[in-house]
Each structure stands twice: as structure tokens, then as C-alpha cells.
Amino acid sequence: MDLPINIVIGNVISLVAGIFLILSMWVNDEKQAYKHQFLNAFILMISSVFFLSWTGVVTMAIAASRNAMVYYDRLTFNWAVVFIIVSIVIGLLVNTMGFVGILPIIAIVQITLCNYYLKTIKSIKTGFIVNSAIYIIYFVAIYDFSSAIIESITAMVGVVALAKLVFFKSPKQLE
């Protein structure tokens, strides 16, 4: 396949992944957020093949595995360290894109640390928003425009959802 067809196919697959990313930002339940993040990472792993981004394939496979562990409450400190080391080592080994290929590595290290240390929905949403900012730059650089748009929308949805959590108290919170 030539690159333009790959870009179209990759963008279609990424669009599907983006639906789960938006859902992860919209929900206010930690487990549901990580379930949607797992599905997003798994599908983006597939789309990364079409963008010939081997760092993306590796980091998304690791992210999907990590998100599954968070969902099942199995992410220990040791596992977080393993995910970070594997992400850095394998990510750098398969990187063929220079600095652009390092962005997913930075993003996966950032979100893995957030996954381990952040436990409230407010801090988790903040971690997701920062992660989205890193990925927006990466996706534009690899021509994954549907993911860049979805990440931008997701970041905006996340900011709105976070603002609602911070500034508007639900009746349950007032008790």
C-alpha cells in the first residue's frame, strides 16, 4: 500500500478510536474512563500500523495493557516501572521518526505515572488533558488528522467536564 491510502485507512480507524477517547473524558467513573481508554489505545495500535509509526504501535499496545491493569486494579508500583522502562526501551528501539517518534514515549510515561499516582476523577481528567496535548502534536506530525481533531475535541470536553466537577457541585456532593 502506498502512503496516501495508508493515511486514509489510518484516519478512519483512528476516528473509531476517538469515540472511545471522548467517552473516557465524559464519564465521571474512574473504571469506565479506563475501560474506554483501553479501547482507544487498542484501536490506535491498529491505526498506527497504517501510519507506519512503529513507536505508536508499541506504545499503544503497552497503553492498552496498562489501562486493562488499571481497570482491574492491578497496576502496582512495580508494574508501573516495568511499563515505563519497556515503553522507553522498545519505543526508542523502534523509533524511525526522530523527535516525533519520542512524543508517544513521553506521553505513555506521563500517563503511566498519572495512572499510578492519581486516584481522584479530577486529577485523572487533568492527566488525560495533558496527555491529549502531547498526542495532538504527535498526530498532526504523522498526518493522523482525525486523531488530532478527536484529541482536540477530547481535551475541550475534558476541560468542560473538569470545570463542571470543580465549579458545580452535584446534589450528592452537597450532602
Summarize pLDDT for 112-129 with one digit per residue, the tens: 898 889 888 888 889 989
In this predicted model, which residue has the larger pLDDT, 30 or 170?
Answer: 30
Task: Give pairs for 163-169: CB < 8 Å, separation 24+.
Answer: 165/28, 165/121, 165/122, 165/125, 166/122
Q: What is the pLDDT of residue 21?
A: 85
* Confidence band for 30, pLDDT divided at 50, 70 and 90: confident
User: H/E/C letters for each residue in 156-170?
Assistant: HHHHHHHHHHHHCCC
Highest mean pLDDT among 21-25, 30-34, 41-45, 159-163: 41-45
Q: What is the pLDDT of residue 84?
A: 94
Q: What is the pLDDT of residue 139?
A: 93
Summarize pLDDT for 134-174 with one digit per residue, the tens: 999 999 999 999 999 988 988 898 899 889 888 886 555 54
Highest mean pLDDT among 20-24, 105-109, 123-127: 105-109
- C-beta separation of 151 from 37 below 8 A: no
In this predicted model, which residue has the larger pLDDT, 135 or 1?
Answer: 135
- Closest alpha carbon to 76 in 88, 85, 63, 66: 66
